[in-house]
Amino acid sequence: MPKNTYYILSLGCSKNTVDSESIAQVLNQGGLKAVTNPQKAEVLIVNTCGFIGPAKTESIETLQELASLKRPDQYLIAAGCLSQRYGDTLSQEVSGLDGIIGTRRWMDIMELVKRIRDRKHPEPLYHIPTEALTVGNDEHGAARVSIQGASAYLKIADGCRRPCAFCAIPAIKGTAVSRPVDLIVNEARLLRDQGVQEIILIAQDSTDYGYDLGLKNGLAHLLNQLVKAVPDVPWLRVMYAYPGYVTDELIETMASHKQIVNYLDIPLQHAHRQTLLRMKRPANVEWVYGTLEKMRKAMPDLAIRTTFIVGYPGETDEEFETLVDFVRDIQFDRVGVFTYSYEVGTPSAEFPHQVDDDTKEERRDYLMEVQQDISLQRNQVQVGRVMDVLIEGHAQLEDEDGELTGESISLGRSYRDAPEIDGYVMVMGEAPVHEVVPVRITDAMLYDLVGTIDLNPPTIIQPGQIFGAGDL
């Protein structure tokens, strides 16, 4: 087995994906080489997720599987949020771990690898500092980006200072720390030079960007710097806005630059004042109505994504019905619904009136059903429009019997679709991959749209015609 090789598996969110890419850059600087087959790697790394129950289970099972396949000349390291949160007990769940490194000091991975190679005993080595995150100078020059096809995530900050009673992130990541504007702008230029068509700004709370850099309206300021620095990148997208912090300046900045897509991802979590107060979340629901109305006035084609938690401790039928009415009222384009996850160490874990799992699932399913009708209606409004679509791959059409029809389509996303979580646009014919092309929308489905490249006569896809083997 070749020495100086590593295999890294990234679990969890896009922020973790960026950390995995940065860990890889530090290992490359240390003279190691990435391999895609774990059997061919000296160092095996799992960048874990420790946010909620199911994610923790997936991380532990992945580590256990690699540990069971690991040979004596290989080293297994658990990195990321699960390590930061449960590092001191992880080796009891996963035997065969050689190293455990927390998410706050991902940049020390090379030192840990050296220590593991030199150690004289089989016990795992720990590196889980709890001091606040470091940014800028201490990132070993690793670009905090992750390129996915023609799109790239760019991390603008990490950590969070919000008090949400159900969330373990502040305990895992520490308080919010913004990255310097010039570093982010330089990385955006790097991405532009690599032909990236869409830059997606991510943080735990993007609307809190710059508060620690003395910036008022830091996110609007950063967006204006990016628009000036990389005017030739077609799309700039912002994820993870926090209610109460979408300012008039931010709305004005988004509305006045076509490059900043008219898309807002704003997790609201609930809509009943009492539930929001128990969540320690902004409970001024009138603010939400007012701000979304203001945004839709400034950007009439605005696409809004949000997420809700159902089954939160103490959630009554009346509170849930208020949430359902709210969703019907606002008519979001995209909604994610999660059942409350009991997280040890979070304030809400101690709350009385925990809701049983059956009720949680019933409420999730019911709210998703309500949203499906709305999603279809919001999609049907798009029919007839010509939209820019970022083409991401091609696929072969299959008929209802699963037979390939020989017709190929292109799969892409419009400004209304963030990667991995929203819908697609299915475009008839083979459009150039990784390019933004004008598409006339000809049909709408529950979550996806159908269209033709504006130049060619359309071929309508009949509902029920599904697509099969693709190369996305």
Residues that bind ligand SF4 (CB under 6 A): 160, 162, 164, 167, 169-170, 204-205, 242
| Residue 145 or 169 having the CB closest to ligand SF4 | 169
CB 163 to ligand SF4: min, Å: 7
CB 132 to ligand SF4: min, Å: 15
| Residue 242 or 424 having the CB closest to ligand SF4 | 242
Q: What is the largest CA-CA distance in the chain?
A: 70
Question: Regarding beta strands 75-80 and 145-148, do their DSSP bridges make them parallel or antiparallel, or are they unpaired?
Answer: unpaired
- Least Cα distance to 81 among 63, 62, 107, 55 occurs for 55
Please state, in angstroms and as integers, the Cα–Cα distance from residue 377 to each residue in 11, 247, 383, 451, following that order. 34, 29, 10, 17
CB 169 to ligand SF4: min, Å: 4
- 51-73: b (≥16 Cβ within 10 Å) or e: bbeebbeebbebbeebbeebeee
CB 167 to ligand SF4: min, Å: 3
> Who's near 448: CB < 8 A, 6+ residues apart?
379, 423, 424, 425, 426
CB 171 to ligand SF4: min, Å: 9
| Residue 96 or 170 having the CB closest to ligand SF4 | 170
| Residue 159 or 451 having the CB closest to ligand SF4 | 159
| Residue 178 or 382 having the CB closest to ligand SF4 | 178
CB 242 to ligand SF4: min, Å: 6
Helix locations, 332-438, DSSP H: 357-380
CB 22 to ligand SF4: min, Å: 20
Q: Tell me the chain's radius of gyration from C-alpha atoms.
A: 23
- Least Cα distance to 155 among 133, 178, 175 occurs for 178
| Residue 308 or 467 having the CB closest to ligand SF4 | 308
| Amino acid in position 301 | D
| Residue 162 or 364 having the CB closest to ligand SF4 | 162
Tokens representing 210 are 């710059």
Inter-helix orientation angle 218-229/181-193, to 10°: 40
Helix H, strand E, coil C: the string for 185-227 is HHHHHHHHHCCCCEEEEECCCHHHCCHHHCCCCHHHHHHHHHH
Tokens representing 148 are 């996915």
CA 37, distance to chain mean position in Å, is 25
CB 269 to ligand SF4: min, Å: 7
